[in-house]
Every structure is written in structure tokens, then in C-alpha cells.
């Protein structure tokens, strides 16, 4: 079978499978990685042939009511928005595979949540500083199903064009955070942006050999993640600035080490005057599964044990400092505080404000 026919057949099978079950998370991640990898291997036309891209571009019915997809607020003098890219879901047993299933079900039930699927929002942060229009992470793009990939549409609805953004700061190179960098033809969606990513994160994914020996993911899913990260980071390498942990990435935004989820994940402390906000990256995803049970290992972490350590360290710091957080996968808008709760923690979302 020719390489082209192999790609077409594979993507066709993935498309059909996704249509039957969008909750099969391992395959979603594999498909995401393959999609991003194909963009830069000259195979973008095959995405259209197979029907995969059209599945990603599906729009909600015009008769379907929608809720707010942006939340305006301020950090000191800076205008800010949380912008929704959409939502994702995956089985609890896949998310925390080593946790006791009965304990997982009990924790979810206590919070009136489904025991069949963990529902994760995809929140990105837009910020206007003194000098820059900044996006922290870019959402999923075409990497996942039709429930995600809506970041630029929602930004445009709020009056921000893709060409307005001059700075993109990346927490880490997973497809739900960098998938929005390229379109289905492999072209930049944010053509005027300079990109920033940690030296450790870039070095890890762009190494000649990339392995994830401690990850709890299956080998196919790991391969998809690696392919996607290599494709995207390689495409923007000539317009990417690397930073070390602790550096001021741009004025008013400092990189904070939160490695564990990936080798070089960074959180970002944004400061203006007396106010600050910490954009956490993927240190925790769920109140019952990660805050009330911070020692449960997460399948998406490249090093689950280090992920637990990073989570514990960050949670201790932000509760002591009473730090306002932006958390990418907590319920929209993902803004809130973490409080201590015995030996564990709990989430306190902000009070929604209608006036800025």
C-alpha cells in the first residue's frame, strides 16, 4: 500500500471511529498528533480527502442557544479575557488509571458530576499589556472533535482578530494547547505573533529521540503526542524565543517552573501594579479528582510522580499566597482560588461580574 493510501485509510478509520465515540480519549490524542504531524509532512490534502478536517469544522446548529464564550476582567491596569476554545471529555478510568474506581466514582458523585466522563473546559488567556497583545496557549485548532477548536472564532466575536495578536506564550506542547497554531493547510493562524516556550520544553520535544517511559498512556497515544509536538514546534522554530524558568518572558509576565505534566511546562505570573494572576498550565484539572485527591496520578502527565510533586508544591504556594488563578481545564472561565481542605484542597471559583 502506498504511503498516501496508508495515510488516507488510517485517517478514514480514525474519522469513522471518532464519529461513533468522541469519548475514546486515547484515540483522540493519537488522532490529534497524527493530524498535526500530517500538516507539515505535505499531507494536508489527505485530511480533506478522508473527511477528518470536515469533522473538525462542524458548527453547532444555528438554532442551538449558546452561553458566554469570553469573560472580561482586569489584572491591575491590563485588560484581560478568558476565551473558551470549547470542551473535551474522557473516561475517569483513563484520567486517573491507578486510583480506586469506587473512590473515583464516589468523589464525582459527591460533586454531582457524571461518573462516566470527566468534562474538561479548554480556557485560554488573552491579555493586553502596556506593549503587547498576548495569548497564553492557542487551544486545540483542528486537533480534536467539533466540541473544541473555537478559540479564534470566540476572540473575533469579542473584537480581537488573529492578526492583532503579537505574542503567544505556550505553557506546554500538548495538542489542546498548541493545536491552534496551524490551520489545516499548515499555515499560521496567528501570522503576526512571536512565540515563547521554555527551553526545557522545546529541547524535549525537538530532540532527535523523544521517549515517555514514565507516562501511563499507551504507546500509540504517546506516538501521537510526540508527532504533533514535533510538527508544530518545528514549524514555528524560526519565530520562537526560548526562556528559562524564572525569566521575565515579556515585561510583567514571569515563567514559573511547573514541570511534571511535561518536561518543561511553565506557569506564568502576570503582575500589574498591586494585582497579579497565575496562569497555571496543566497542574490540576478537576476539583474532586485532583484537588481533593492531589496524590492521584494523572495519565496525561509525562511523569506522573513528578506531576503529583508539582501539584502539591503549587497548591501549597497558591493557598499560602491566596493567589488568583487561571486554570486551563477548570469550568469556564477557570478563574478562582484554591483553599485548604483538611490534608487536601478545594476550588473556589470567582464570583461572576457583569461590569469590569
Q: Is 103 helix (H, G, I), strand (E, B) or coil?
A: helix
**Residue 310 belongs to some domain of the structure:** yes
Q: What is the pLDDT of residue 196?
A: 98
pTM of the model: 0.85
Q: 285: domain CATH number?
A: 3.60.15.10
Q: What is the pLDDT of residue 64?
A: 67
Phi first, then psi: what are they for 18, rounded to 5°? Answer: -60, -35
Domain count, the chain: 1
Give one DSSP letter per residue of 295-340, joined into a string.
Answer: TSPPTT-SSHHHHHHHHHHHHHHHHHHT--EE-TTSSTT-EEEEEE
Whether 1 is covered by a domain: the verdict is no
Q: For residue 24, is it within any domain?
A: no
pLDDT mean by block of 10 residues, the chain; 356 residues:
39 40 48 52 36 37 74 98 96 97 98 96 97 98 92 97 98 98 96 98 98 96 96 97 98 97 98 98 97 98 97 97 98 98 96 93
CA distance 35 to 27: 12
For residue 15, being part of any structural domain is answered with: no
Cβ(335)–Cβ(73) under 8 Å? yes
Whether 85 maps to a domain, the answer reads yes
Any residues with CB less than 8 A from the CB of 82 and at least 6 apart, and which? 70, 71, 73, 123, 124, 125, 126, 326, 332, 333, 334, 335
Residue 38 included in any domain? no
Q: Which domain holds residue 88?
A: 69-349
**Does some domain include residue 169?**
yes
Name the residue among 253, 258, 264 with its Cα closest to residue 229. Answer: 264
Residue 207 cell numbers, joined? 530532540
The answer to whether residue 33 sits within a structural domain is no
Amino acid at each position: 500500500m502506498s504511503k498516501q493510501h496508508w495515510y488516507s485509510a488510517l485517517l478514514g478509520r480514525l474519522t469513522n471511529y471518532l464519529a461513533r465515540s468522541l469519548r475514546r480519549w486515547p484515540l483522540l490524542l493519537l488522532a490529534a498528533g497524527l493530524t498535526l504531524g500530517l500538516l507539515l509532512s505535505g499531507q494536508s490534502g489527505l485530511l480533506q480527502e478522508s473527511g477528518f478536517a470536515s469533522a473538525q469544522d462542524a458548527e453547532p446548529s444555528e438554532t442551538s442557544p449558546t452561553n458566554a464564550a469570553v469573560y472580561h476582567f482586569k489584572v491591575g491596569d491590563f485588560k484581560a479575557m478568558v476565551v473558551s476554545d470549547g470542551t473535551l471529555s474522557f473516561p475517569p478510568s483513563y484520567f486517573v488509571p491507578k486510583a480506586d474506581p469506587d473512590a473515583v466514582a464516589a468523589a464525582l458523585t459527591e460533586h454531582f458530576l457524571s461518573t462516566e466522563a470527566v468534562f474538561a473546559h479548554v480556557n485560554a488567556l488573552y491579555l493586553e499589556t502596556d506593549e503587547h497583545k498576548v495569548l497564553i496557549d492557542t487551544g486545540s485548532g483542528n486537533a480534536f472533535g467539533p466540541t473544541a477548536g473555537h478559540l479564534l472564532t470566540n476572540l473575533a466575536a469579542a473584537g480581537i482578530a488573529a492578526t492583532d495578536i503579537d505574542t503567544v506564550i505556550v505553557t506546554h506542547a500538548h495538542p489542546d494547547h498548541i493545536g491552534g497554531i496551524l490551520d489545516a493547510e499548515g499555515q499560521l493562524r496567528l501570522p503576526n505573533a512571536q512565540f515563547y516556550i521554555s527551553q526545557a520544553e522545546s529541547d524535549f520535544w525537538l530532540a532527535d529521540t523523544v521517549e515517555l517511559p514514565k507516562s501511563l498512556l499507551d504507546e500509540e497515544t504517546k506516538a501521537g503526542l510526540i508527532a504533533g509536538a514535533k510538527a508544530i514546534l518545528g514549524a514555528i522554530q524560526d519565530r520562537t524565543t526560548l526562556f528559562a524558568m524564572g525569566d521575565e518572558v515579556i515585561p510583567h509576565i514571569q515563567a514559573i517552573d511547573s514541570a511534571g505534566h511535561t518536561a518543561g511546562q511553565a506557569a506564568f505570573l502576570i503582575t500589574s501594579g498591586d494585582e497579579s494572576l497565575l496562569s497555571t498550565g496543566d497542574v490540576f484539572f478537576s476539583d474532586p479528582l485532583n484537588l481533593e485527591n492531589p496524590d492521584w496520578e494523572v495519565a496525561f502527565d509525562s511523569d506522573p510522580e513528578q506531576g503529583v510533586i508539582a501539584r502539591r508544591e503549587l497548591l501549597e504556594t497558591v493557598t499560602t499566597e491566596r493567589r488568583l488563578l487561571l486554570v486551563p481545564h477548570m469550568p469556564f472561565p477557570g478563574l478562582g482560588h484554591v483553599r485548604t481542605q483538611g490534608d487536601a484542597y478545594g476550588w473556589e471559583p470567582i464570583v461572576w461580574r457583569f461590569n469590569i
